[in-house]
Amino acid sequence: MRSLLARLSLCALFPLLIACQPVETSTGNSSNTAEPAKPIVLKLAHGWPKGFPVFGESVEDYAALVEELSGGRILLKVDSTNKHKSAFGIFDFVKSGQYDIGQTASYYYGGKDPDALFFSSMPLGMTTQEQYAWFYHGGGLDLANQVYAKHNIEVELGGNTGMQMGGWFRKEIKSVDDLKGLRMRIPGFAGKVVAGVGVVPTNIPAGELFQALERGTLDALEWVGPALDLRMGFHKVAPYYYVGWHEPGTELMYFFNKDSMAKLPEWAVSILKNAARLTAYRMTTHTFAENSENWSTIAEQFPNVQVKEFPSEVMQALRESNQALLQAESERSEFAKSVLDSRAAYLKKARAWTRIGTQAYLETVAE
Ligand code: CA
């Protein structure tokens, strides 16, 4: 008995270095027979179609990484929307325990908890690097976990899209008046911001976007950036491609059901959480690579695409709408105020460094 305990504690400390006894989660069976122990099998749901570029691929990468790091002792059964049929159902799946783990974007769940809107990206807010620093070193991830703990969920970061483009428009935007009544797919806090200047925002699933834009059901849409936009074909029907302002670094997340995690040994939870962090890094670099590659293709092969900046009058109206919304959110609850204050303070500090670091570099070396 003593040697078994010693072995288990060694397993907790060095799960990758010694052969640990796999744990049967459903029955708790730990017999001493010679039968090989069954691996831990967990269910994971993500919010994308099967094989979806970058986002879906990243989850497959996560599952493979968990299996590799655990020496095959943890297996993830991954379901896409093809299976579970609910792109925006990941929150409820994990909260209820129907799935042990989920991968999605927090800002899809503002209807479940209004504070969930603050943990993907905020309009006119932090860039990818700045926001990672906030999540990991500025208390951001702890704040996210405070929100999700109320829903029986723990979260880890899941990977970033990098700077998102401002979207594809069928007509050029020359003034605020051009935005009045414009039907645009744009989710999250940014959807509320554009509504404040007259846009009619909607959020529809990825598979329906091209047809809606082609048929004129939508006048404009934002999706991600070249990494994911090119293969959607938007450039064929909406040639004005605006630079970003509304999602300067959108983070995906892994959701973990707290009860499922509580049943696991420490080494297994450690692998699941640390594999998520490594996957986040991998997806973030993958998106950057795909953005570069696909922008090169657009620039070379589709000269009809015109990259535009919104007129300063439009940007000013968007800033004012954003500010009014932030003020209203801060008045909604003490917690919302604490998150927004934390983000604002961190942005101010991080941006000062970005300006004399990356931005000054880009200006210095510019031709
Ligand atoms: Ca987007």
Q: Which of 173, 314, 141, 287 is nearest to 227 (CA)?
A: 287
Kindly state the DSSP code that residue 343 receives in the 8-state scheme.
Answer: H
Output the CA 213–ligand 1 centroid distance in Å.
15
Q: What pLDDT, on the 0 to 100 scale, is given for residue 204?
A: 81
**Do 233 and 298 contact (CB within 8 A), yes or no?**
no
pLDDT at 187 over 60: yes
Alpha carbons within 13 A on the beta-carbon side of 122: 24
Task: Collect contacts of 201-204 with beta carbons under 8 A, ≥24 apart.
Answer: 203/108
Residues by chain with Cβ below 5 Å of ion ligand 1: 164, 222, 247
Q: Residue 305's CB: how many other CB atoms inside 10 A?
A: 19
Measured CA to CA, the distance from residue 119 to residue 131 in angstroms comes to 9
Distance from the alpha carbon of residue 182 to the mean position of ligand 1, in angstroms: 17
246 CA from centroid of ligand 1 (Å): 8
> Homologous superfamily of 2-160+249-289 in CATH?
Bacterial extracellular solute-binding protein, family 7 (3.40.190.170)
327: number of Cβ within 10 Å: 12
25 CA to centre of ligand 1 in angstroms: 38
- CA-to-CA distance for 315 and 243, rounded, in angstroms? 11
How far is the centre of ligand 1, averaged over its atoms, from the C-alpha of 255 (Å)?
20
At residue 37 the predicted structure's pLDDT band, cuts being 50, 70 and 90, is: confident
User: At 78, is the secondary structure helix, strand, or coil?
Assistant: strand
Q: Provide the CB-side half-sphere exposure for 35 (13 A, CA).
A: 10
Q: Is the pLDDT of residue 29 over 80?
A: no
CA of 248 to the centre of ligand 1 (A): 9
Burial class of 72 by CB neighbour count within 10 A (0 to 12, 13 to 18, 19+): exposed
CB 153 within 8 A of CB 95: yes
pTM of the model: 0.88
Which SS3 state, helix, strand or coil, does residue 221 take?
A: strand
- pLDDT tens per residue, range 66-85: 999 999 999 999 999 999 99
Which of 11-25, 31-45, 229-243, 266-280 shows the lowest mean pLDDT across its residues?
Answer: 11-25
Pick from 105, 168, 162, 130: which is nearest to 289 by CA?
162
Q: Does residue 9 carry a pLDDT above 80? A: no
Confidence of residue 197 (pLDDT cuts 50, 70, 90): very high
pLDDT attached to residue 188: 86
Mean pLDDT of the chain: 92
* pLDDT (average), residues 112-131: 97
Residue 91 and residue 103: Cα distance in Å, rounded?
A: 9
CA distances from 156 to 71, 83, 105 (A): 22, 24, 11
What confidence score (pLDDT) does residue 35 get? 64
* Interval between CA 322 and ligand 1 midpoint (Å): 17
| Separation of CA 223 and ligand 1 centre (Å) | 4
121 Cα: distance to centroid of ligand 1 (angstroms): 9
Residue closest to 81 by CA, chosen among 55, 49, 44 = 49
CATH 3.40.190.10 domain extents, the chain? 167-246+304-332
Mean pLDDT within 23-45: 68
- Interstrand relation of 251-257 and 153-160 (parallel, antiparallel or unpaired): antiparallel
Per-residue pLDDT for 18 more than 60? no
Residue, of 25 and 110, whose pLDDT is higher? 110
- Give the burial string for 123-137 (b: 16+ CB within 10 Å, else e): bbbbbbbbbbbbbee
* Residues 107 and 325: beta-carbon distance below 8 Å: no
| Average pLDDT rounded to a whole number, residues 199-222 | 92
Q: Quick check: 19 pLDDT over 90? A: no
Q: For residue 208, what pLDDT is reported?
A: 87
| β-pairing verdict for 167-169 and 220-221 | antiparallel
Instruction: Return the pLDDT at 358.
Output: 97
Give 203's pLDDT tier (boundaries 50, 70, 90).
Answer: confident
Q: How confident is the model at residue 36 (pLDDT cuts 50, 70, 90)?
A: low
Q: Which one-letter amino acid corresponds to residue 84?
A: H
The CA 164 to ligand 1 mean position distance, Å, reads 6
pLDDT tens-digit series, residues 246-261: 999 999 999 999 999 9
Q: pLDDT confidence of 207, banded at 50, 70, 90?
A: confident
pLDDT band at 33; cut points 50, 70, 90 = low
- Residue range(s) occupied by CATH 3.40.190.170 in the chain: 2-160+249-289
**Which architecture characterizes domain 167-246+304-332 according to CATH?**
3-Layer(aba) Sandwich (3.40)
Q: What is the CA(134)–ligand 1 centre distance, in A? A: 20
pLDDT tier at 22 (50, 70, 90 boundaries)?
very low
pLDDT-based confidence at residue 32 (cuts at 50, 70, 90): low
What tens digit of pLDDT does each residue of 85-108 get? 999 999 999 999 999 999 999 999
Average pLDDT for residues 187-212, to the nearest whole number? 92
